[in-house]
Amino acid sequence: MKQDINRAEVLSAITPLIENTAMRFNLIPIEIDFAKENHRWFLRIFLYSKDHSITLDDCEKVTRSLEGFLDELIPVKYYLEVSSPGLERKFKSEKEFVIFKGKRISLKLKEPLSGETEKIFKGEILDYDVNEGLTFFRFDDGSELKIPKENIQSAKLYID
């Protein structure tokens, strides 16, 4: 018997539970993904902490705290994966500019800035505003740039 699953409904039901559980351990879920791959459902949770690098212990605590509750909210068999976002994570939402404020990123623009030819910069996130866009410290010349969010093609964490 084939079962139709409304992915958006499942995500809206489980997201508050995941956020509250992560918060109990001083963690932030920066991405929650529920997707079907090769006829199997996967729930992937990527955690971040402002205080420390995500450890296996952090992932285990969140997994154990969620196990029984998720089964009540997800109507199909699924595989749960809880992990860190990775060292050079590509940003998938605007909120990551706020979460990773002060971190080094590699930034790719859709169009070069006025008076520039380059579209790729390495630097640090100084601030992010939903209306104004990104305030960015550029490493190569030490300048501070204001970049409208509409001109950001992609961004990812950057490690020297």
Q: Domain containing 78 — which CATH number?
A: 3.30.300.70
| pLDDT tens-digit series, residues 67-116 | 889 999 999 999 999 999 888 889 988 889 998 999 999 999 999 988 88
Kindly state whether residues 54 and 102 are assigned to the same domain.
Answer: no
- As a whole number of angstroms, the distance between CA 20 and CA 12 comes to 13
- As a whole number of angstroms, the distance between CA 108 and CA 112 comes to 9
Kindly state whether residues 78 and 102 are assigned to the same domain.
Answer: no
Residue 89 belongs to some domain of the structure: no
Q: Note the pTM of the prediction, 2 decimals.
A: 0.80
Looking at 33, 61, 83, the residue that finishes a domain is 83
User: What is the total count of domains within the chain?
Assistant: 2
Question: Is the Cβ–Cβ distance between 79 and 58 less than 8 Å?
Answer: no
pLDDT at 1: 43
Looking at 83, 113, 148, the residue that finishes a domain is 83
In this structure, what CATH number is given to the domain that contains residue 117? 2.30.30.180
| pLDDT tens-digit series, residues 112-129 | 988 888 899 999 999 999
Kindly state whether residues 110 and 148 are assigned to the same domain.
Answer: yes
Question: Is the Cβ–Cβ distance between 129 and 123 less than 8 Å?
Answer: no
Domain of residue 60, residue span: 7-83
